[in-house]
Amino acid sequence: MFRSTISRVAGAIVVVGGLAVAWPAAQTPPQGGAPATAAEAEAFIRDAETRLNELSIRLSRAQWVQSNFITTDTQAIAATANDEFIEATTELATEARRFAGLDLPPAIARKIRLLALSLPMPAPSDPEERSELTRIAASLEGDYGAGKYCPPGRDCLDLTALEKILAESRDPAALAEAWTGWHAVGAPMRDRYTRFVTLSNKGAREMGFADVGAMWRSNYDLPPDAFAGEVERLWQQVRPFYESLHAYVRARLVKRYGPDLVDPKGPIPAHLLGNMWAQQWGYVYDLVEPSGAAEGYDLTKLLQAEKPDARDMVKYGENFFSSLGFAPLPETFWERSLFVKPRDREVVCHASAWTLDNKDDIRIKMCIDIKAEDFVTIHHELGHNYYQRAYNGQTFLFQNSANDGFHEAVGDTIALSVTPAYLQRIGLLERVPPAEADVPLLLRDALDKVAFLPFGLLIDQWRWQVFSGAITPDRYNASWWALKRQYQGVVPPAARSEADFDPGAKYHIPANVPYTRYFLAHILQFQFHRALCRDAGYTGPLNRCSIYGSREAGEKLQTMLAMGQSRPWPDALEALTGEREIDAGALLEYFAPLRAWLDEQNRGVPVGW
C-alpha cells in the first residue's frame, strides 16, 4: 500500500466549462452572493494547491513519526496535523463549490472536481467534533500497531510472530490460538469505531453525500451505483475461477485435517489457510502442492542461500526498475526508509510507500524478512515510489494515480515479472524450470492473487453497509462473518459474538484505508502486464513473460505514470493498454493452464459451499 494525505477523486456530475465536475448528487452548488469568475477560480486553485501541499508535507512527516515511534505523544502530534489538514481541505472543498457553472479551462475545472471530493475521512465542520474524529483515528491505528497477544505464562507475541505461526504451523490448536489471540485486538476498538462512523458520516452529509461509503464510491469517475455495478461485473468474471480454486484447496485440507475439522462441502476454517485474515493462501502451498509435479523452485530458499540483508533485498527491486530505464532511487531513500523492525520500540510493520515532500523524499517502511513474500512486496512498494516520483512534476491536485487501484496495480504489475526467467537473469536461479512446471508455479501465485479477490471485495462491502446504516453496531461482527462466508467461503475457528470486533483486526479498518482499490489492482495488474509484455515484444504464454530489461515497456509505463491524475482513469488505461474498460480477461488468460488443470482435479469434487 502507499500513504497519501489526500484522496483526489471524482463523483456525481454537473458541468463546469464543458467538463464533468464532481458534486454530490444530493446537493446542488450554492447560490447567491457575488458571481464568481474564472479568474477567481484559477487564483483559488493556485492558492489552494500551495496551502494543501504545505499541510500535506507537515502531515506526512507527523504520520511517519507516528508509525515509526508509537507513543501517546506521537499519536497526538499526528492527530493535530491530520486535524489541520482536514480542516483546510474541508474549507477549500466547500468554497470550491461556488465555481460550479462557470466556463473554466479544463485543467482548472478538473482540479475543482478533485478537490470537491478529496477526503477519505470527511470530518464535521464543528471543530470539537472534527478534533474528536482525528483523535479517534490516530488511536485506532496506534492500537493496531501496538497490538499483541499475551498467552498466560508466556512471552507476548506481536502480529509478526503470530503471522509466522499461521504460516508455518500445521497444528490446528496452535493455529486457532494464534488466530483468536490476534483477533482480540479489535474488541477494544468497537465503541470508538462506532463513534468514528457517526462523526465521519456527519462530515460526509455536510458535503452532500448520503454517507461515507457513497462518497468513496464516487472516487472513480462514475456515479456511486454505477461503480458498484462495475465491481460486481468484474467479480462475476472471476468468481467461477475462485470457486474452482476453493474446491481444490478444501479437498486437500480435508485430506490433511479430516472431515471433522474441514467440511468437504462447506466453508474452510479461516485459521487453516496460512494467513491471519485468510486473504492469501500461499503459505499452505505445501499442503496442496500437486503430486508428481515437475521440479520447481523455492524462492525463499534461493534468497536465504544468497544471504542478502534487508538493504540488499531492496536493491533487487531498484535494479528491476533501472533495467526499464528509470533513474536510481535518491540517496535519501536509503538513509530514511525503515527496512528492519527496531528492537527498542513499537512500529507499524505493515509495508507502505511514502512521499514526504511530494517531490524526491520517497521512502518505504516495512519490517523485511529474507523470504519470497517480502521479495515480491518490495517490488510492489517500489512501484508506488516510482509512481510518486513520476508524477511529482504535476501540480498538487494531480499528484496521485489515475484511480487508487492504479497505484496498487503498478507495483503488482512489476511483481508479475518476478518469473523464473527473471530470477535466472539476476543470478538467483540456476535454470528455468520446464513448461510442465508452470501449473505448480501458477497454483502458488493463484493461492495469493486469486484467493485474494473476494477478500478484496468484502472489506468495503462491509464498510459501505456500515456507513449506510444497513449494518448496525449491534450486528458488526455477525455481518462481517456473513460476508466472509458469502464471498470467501471461510468461517472462524472459534465462536464469535458481538463482544468481538474482528474487522478491527485488519489494518485497513482501524486505519480507514479504502480497500476496493486492492480488488481493482488485482484485476488491473494483469491487464497492465499483458500490454507491457506486448510492448516488450513478447509473444509466449502470458505467465512466462518478464519485462525486465525492456526499455520499450519502461517508456510506455513511464508515460502513464507521469500523467498522475491529470486525466480520467480511462485515458490513463488507454495510454498504457489501448483499452478503456477494466477487464479480467487478462487474469484469466494468465492463469489459463491452471484453470484447465483445476477442472480436471475437481471432477467429482463439490464446488461451492
Distance (Å, whole) CA 600 – CA 251: 13
220 annotated active-site: no
> What residues pair up with 245 in beta bridges, in sequence order?
none
Identify whether the C-beta of residue 58 lies closer than 8 Å to the C-beta of residue 81: yes
Distance (Å, whole) CA 353 – CA 113: 26
Contacts of 387 (CB under 8 A, 6+ apart): 2, 401, 406, 407, 410, 561
User: H/E element holding 590?
Assistant: helix 585-590
Cell of 561: 505514470
* Backbone angles phi and psi of 376, in degrees to 5: -70, -40
Residue (of 447, 454, 529, 525) closest to 489 by Cα position: 454
335 annotated active-site: no
Distance (Å, whole) CA 298 – CA 180: 30
381 annotated active-site: yes
Identify whether the C-beta of residue 338 lies closer than 8 Å to the C-beta of residue 366: yes
Catalytic residue, candidates 183, 379, 384, 529: 384
Contacts of 596 (CB under 8 A, 6+ apart): none
407 annotated active-site: no
String of DSSP letters for 421-458: HHHHHTTS-SSPPPGGGHHHHHHHHHHHHHHHHHHHHH
84 annotated active-site: no
Catalytic residue, candidates 132, 141, 177, 408: 408
Catalytic residue, candidates 79, 214, 381, 553: 381
Cell of 415: 511483481
Catalytic residue, candidates 380, 407, 522, 529: 380
Distance (Å, whole) CA 120 – CA 339: 28
Distance (Å, whole) CA 210 – CA 282: 39
Catalytic residue, candidates 109, 178, 270, 351: 351
408 annotated active-site: yes
Identify whether the C-beta of residue 192 lies closer than 8 Å to the C-beta of residue 140: yes
> What residues pair up with 365 in beta bridges, in sequence order?
338, 352
Catalytic residue, candidates 508, 548, 575, 586: 508
String of DSSP letters for 40-81: HHHHHHHHHHHHHHHHHHHHHHHHHHHHHS-SHHHHHHHHHH
Identify whether the C-beta of residue 590 lies closer than 8 Å to the C-beta of residue 450: no
Tell me the Cα Rg of the chain: 24
DSSP state of 485: I
Q: How many of the other CB atoms lie within 10 Å of CB of 329?
A: 23
Identify whether the C-beta of residue 238 lies closer than 8 Å to the C-beta of residue 453: yes
Q: How many of the other CB atoms lie within 10 Å of CB of 248?
A: 22
Catalytic residue, candidates 248, 391, 518, 548: 518
The distance between the two most distant Cα atoms of the chain, rounded to a whole number of Å, is 78
DSSP state of 158: E
Identify whether the C-beta of residue 595 lies closer than 8 Å to the C-beta of residue 241: yes
Residue (of 456, 442, 464) closest to 523 by Cα position: 456
Distance (Å, whole) CA 484 – CA 459: 9
Catalytic residue, candidates 350, 379, 407, 529: 350
List residues with catalytic annotation. Answer: 350-351, 380-381, 384, 408, 508, 518
